[in-house]
Amino acid sequence: MNDRQRNNTTIKKEVFENEITGARFANGSLGLIINPSVKFFENNKILERNSSCSVNDSIDPIAFKVFKLIRLGVIESNKELLKKKKLQNTLPKILCMVYTHSHAHQRIRAIVNTWGSQCDGFFAASNKTDLTIRAIDLVHNGPEAYSNMWQKVRSMWMYAHDNFLNDFDYFHISGDDSYVVIDNMKNYLQGEEIEQLLQGYIDNFSRPYFEKTKKWKNMKNGHKRPLLLGIPLIKGKDIFPQGGGGYTLNREALKQIGKKNGPLQTLLADKVDSREDAFIAALLGAEDTYVSDTRDKTGAFRYIPYRPKQRIKGKAKYPKKFRISPVLSGMNLFSKETVALHLRDMDTKNIPMDEVIYRTHDIINGYCDAYIYPKK
């Protein structure tokens, strides 16, 4: 599928009288349907860069230790993926979506030079189209502002549903200050835990909602359960996948919310709000789908929502009804099977976020065996 323009660029009116959906070409005209295939990056190398292991304040000793731990997981995942590919001749296809703006396109350039090109498909939702980095000016209702992040993300899910639903198995969304460990993600998505969830296993985070989720208990005739994957955050009676490193939907979940007259078109459609993670959970909750338990066998979550040195100060503690034990702390909070990280606050005056992304990539992929930190 090539970048192409639809013959019909009429304005949709299901929700707002003047709502326009879709992406703009660089000249401002509507109708851009991007080709998300990462083969574009293979054929059009953006930047040659040497790895950097220099000392800085962004990659602190705790972050380095966590990234080296994840490196061990990547090595193990690569071995497992080779075995699975030989046995099954296929691996799950992932579309990676990043929200950004034109002032942060250097971050997108770093992402497509690192983890973005390891996805099966990729696009960045911006306010300016730059096809060299697969950034598109994606139209959404309301202003281009953090306080209106929900409308931007809502349009991203619409765009993915309308154009790529049948091309990918999973859809991951995150900000431009994230790092996604694709090898770990693919190994996880191809693993036994996910297969059990797809077949209807009711995990500890879904169990309190059993009267609603029991319809997924036994999936038959090749059907799969809709999944929302992330690190669960609980506020009052609400449970949602905390933003930061992002969260992941499978095709069935995207189909649920994106169907005609479905939640994306009818629920919270007029809200101007930054809480896109809570809102996407509300849309899926209306369809009886809740965030799943994404812990590894040690009890550590595979999604990291904060900078490691911030995360290490807390504890993974949940209400008793979720029966989550043991309560972890310290380095035990981190999984070598981590699939997504939030790099927020790791940039400094001298080290911008694009460089943080590169250096995170260098460590996780084994290009930096050691950092030497100055004595204080």
Cα 339 from Cα 183, distance rounded (Å): 8
Q: Are 247 and 173 in contact (CB under 8 A)?
A: yes
Per-residue confidence (pLDDT) for residue 153, from 0 to 100: 96
Per-residue confidence (pLDDT) for residue 10, from 0 to 100: 29
Per-residue confidence (pLDDT) for residue 245, from 0 to 100: 87
Per-residue confidence (pLDDT) for residue 32, from 0 to 100: 96
Least confident of 61-75, 282-296, 307-321: 307-321
Cα 364 from Cα 178, distance rounded (Å): 14
**Residue 57: is its pLDDT beyond 80?**
no
Q: Are 294 and 318 in contact (CB under 8 A)?
A: no
**Exposed/middle/buried for residue 43 (C-beta within 10 Å: 0-12, 13-18, 19+):** exposed
Q: Quick one: pLDDT band at residue 90, thresholds 50, 70, 90?
A: confident
The mean pLDDT of 318-336, rounded to a whole number, is 84
Work out the mean pLDDT of the chain and round it to a whole number: 88
Spatial CA neighbour of 66 closest among 300, 324, 224 = 300
Cα 189 from Cα 375, distance rounded (Å): 42
Q: Distances from the Cα of 183 to the Cαs of 33, 140, 320, 335, in angstroms?
A: 27, 32, 33, 14
Least confident of 17-26, 176-185, 348-357, 366-375: 366-375
**Residue 165: is its pLDDT beyond 80?**
yes
The mean pLDDT of 105-119, rounded to a whole number, is 96
Q: Would you list the DSSP string of 100-149?
A: --GGGHHHHHHHHHTTGGGSSEEEEEESS-BGGGTEEEEE-SS-SSGGGH
Phi-psi region of 247 (alpha: psi -120 to 50; beta: other; left: phi over 0): beta
Q: Are 333 and 247 in contact (CB under 8 A)?
A: no
- Read off the pLDDT of residues 230-275 as tens digits, 9 standing for 90 and up: 999 888 778 899 887 899 999 999 999 999 999 999 999 999 999 9
Per-residue confidence (pLDDT) for residue 9, from 0 to 100: 30
Q: Are 361 and 115 in contact (CB under 8 A)?
A: yes
- Read off the pLDDT of residues 191-217 as tens digits, 9 standing for 90 and up: 999 999 999 999 989 888 999 999 999
Contacts of residue 50, defined as CB under 8 A and 6 or more positions apart, other chains included, come to: none
For the entire predicted model, the pTM comes to 0.91
